[in-house]
Amino acid sequence: MSIAKKEYKRITIKSLVEMKKRGEKISMLTAYDFTMAKIVDKSGIDVVLVGDSASNVMAGHETTVPITLDQMIYHATSVVRAITRALVVVDLPFGSYQSDPKGALKSAIRIMKESGGHAVKMEGGKEIKESIKRILNAGIPVMGHLGLTPQSIYKFGTYTVRAKEEEEANKLKEDALLLEKIGCFAIVLEKVPAKLAQEVAESLTIPIIGIGAGGGVDGQVLVTHDMLGMTHEFNPRFLRRYLDMDNEMNLAFKRYIDDVKSSDFPNESEQY
Ligand code: KIV
């Protein structure tokens, strides 16, 4: 059954909860720069995530660990300038919120003031509860992130599916409940069994946005560069590619090179 899409002038955290109530799925994609954010926003996406995946996609790092708060603010500022409709959520990067609640609030305030983003996203549950509460108390909306939390990759050791065992699944359910209770407006669930993700989505009133978490949740998020086929080294089962941009861009670049070499470009009408 398809649910009619409601037209929103601007997506707010309230619109997302309304969408869940109405059974309308939430769409979310990443953006890290002005031009991509403008295209993504124009397409009618609900949420744009300035993800710390910028560390991989933009900077070529192996993990999300190295990206800094200043770099996230730079990306978020560029994205916010392009957005007219979507809700912009900005990742708090590794090291900017784990030490203590005061430091976490300072980082979140910098993101909100300097970039103009609408909300922050933080990885973790019970362990970072006090920091989340402090940020929420300052009036900053927080999106949680549970399951595979890439900032903890060195603790996990691998990027495989999380919470397959009962103990970890129970902890995830407790953490999700806790995040809702303290006031997070949504949670990203990354790479967990579909059955577990659906159970969490059905037991909470806030939206659950999945990546590799099956279709039983309230929305989906993908990394834009992955779904456009601009990256090829990353091939998880959950990734659907909507374009082969790597190939398309390569062909365009090759044609340009040929045109320059053969003096076909520029022609008479392409000069002054
Ligand atoms: O940084 C990111 O892009 C993310 C998504 C994968 C959810 O956190």
Tens-digit pLDDT profile for residues 127-148: 999 999 999 999 999 999 999 9
Backbone phi, psi, residue 210, to 5°:
-100, 150
Give the pLDDT mean for 84-112: 98
Cβ count near 259 (within 10 Å) = 13
| Cα–Cα distance for residue pair 124/145, rounded to 1 Å | 6
Mean pLDDT of 144-172: 95
Atom 5 of ligand 1, nearest CA residue: 51
CA angle 84-77-120, nearest 5°? 85
Q: Report which protein residue has its CA nearest ligand 1's atom 1.
A: 51
- CA–centroid distance, 205 to ligand 1, in Å, is 22
- What pLDDT does residue 234 have? 84
Q: Provide mean pLDDT across the span 143-171.
A: 95
CA of 51 to the centre of ligand 1 (A): 5
| Ligand 1 center to 208 CA (angstroms) | 14
The DSSP 8-state label assigned to residue 215 in this structure reads S
Same domain, 234 and 258: no
| Shared domain check, 157 and 22 | yes
* pLDDT for the residue numbered 89: 99
Q: Are residues 215 and 252 in the same domain?
A: no
Q: Rounded mean pLDDT of the chain?
A: 97
Phi/psi of residue 130, nearest 5 degrees: -65, -35
- Tell me the mean pLDDT in the region 17-22: 97
Domain residue limits at 104: 13-241
pLDDT at 144 (0 to 100): 98
Judgement on whether residues 162 and 255 belong to the same structural domain of the protein: no
Residues noted as catalytic? 190
pLDDT at 17: 97
Q: Record the tokens describing residue 57, joined without a space.
A: 């996609």
In ligand 1, which atom is closest to the CA atom of 30?
3
What is the number of alpha carbons within 13 Å of residue 14 lying toward its C-beta?
3
Whole-prediction pTM: 0.97
pLDDT of residue 1: 59
- Joined together, the tokens standing for residue 179 give 């995040």
Instruction: Give the tokens for residue 71.
Output: 């770099």
Instruction: Note whether 222 and 252 are same-domain residues.
Output: no
| Strand 26-30 with 47-50, pairing | parallel
Strand partners, 122: 144
Q: Do 272 and 182 sit in the same domain of this protein?
A: no
pLDDT of residue 88: 98
The alpha carbon of residue 100 and the mean position of all alpha carbons in its chain are separated, in whole angstroms, by 24
Looking at the fold, whether 156 and 97 belong to one and the same domain comes out as yes
Angle at which helices 34-42 and 69-82 cross, to 10°: 50
Question: How many angstroms separate the CA atoms of 34 and 261, rounded?
Answer: 32
Statement to judge: residues 61 and 135 lie in one domain: yes
250 and 220 in one domain?
Answer: no
Number of compact structural domains in the chain = 2
Q: CA-to-CA distance for 32 and 224, rounded, in angstroms?
A: 10
The whole-number average pLDDT for the span 14-26 is 97
Give the rounded percent of residues in the chain with a pLDDT score beyond 70. 99
pLDDT digits (tens, 9 = 90+) for 99-124: 999 999 999 999 999 999 999 999 99
Q: Does residue 2 lie in a domain region? A: no
Lining residues, ligand 1, CB within 6 Å: 30, 49, 51-53, 91, 188, 190, 211, 221, 223
231 shares a domain with 252? no
CATH for 235? 3.20.20.60
Residue 1 domain-assigned?
A: no
Examine the domain organization and report whether 58 and 139 are in the same domain. yes
State residue 233's pLDDT score: 83
Dist CA 231 CA 224 (whole Å): 10
Mean pLDDT of 215-241: 96
pLDDT band at 6 (very low <50, low <70, confident <90, very high): confident
Which of 76-85, 111-120, 197-206, 227-236 has the least mean pLDDT?
A: 227-236
Q: Average of pLDDT values for 238-263?
A: 98
Residues 24, 92: one domain? yes
CA-123 nearest atom, ligand 1: 8
| Spatial contact of 32 and 59, defined as CB atoms under 8 Å apart | no
Is residue 8, in this structure, part of any structural domain at all? Answer: no
Of 3-12, 67-76, 113-122, 224-233, the least confident: 3-12
Q: Is it true that the peptide bond before 266 is cis, omega within 30 degrees of 0?
A: yes
CB contact at 8 A, 22 and 1: no
Confidence of residue 5 (pLDDT cuts 50, 70, 90): confident
Query: How many other C-beta atoms lie within 10 A of the C-beta of residue 245?
Result: 15
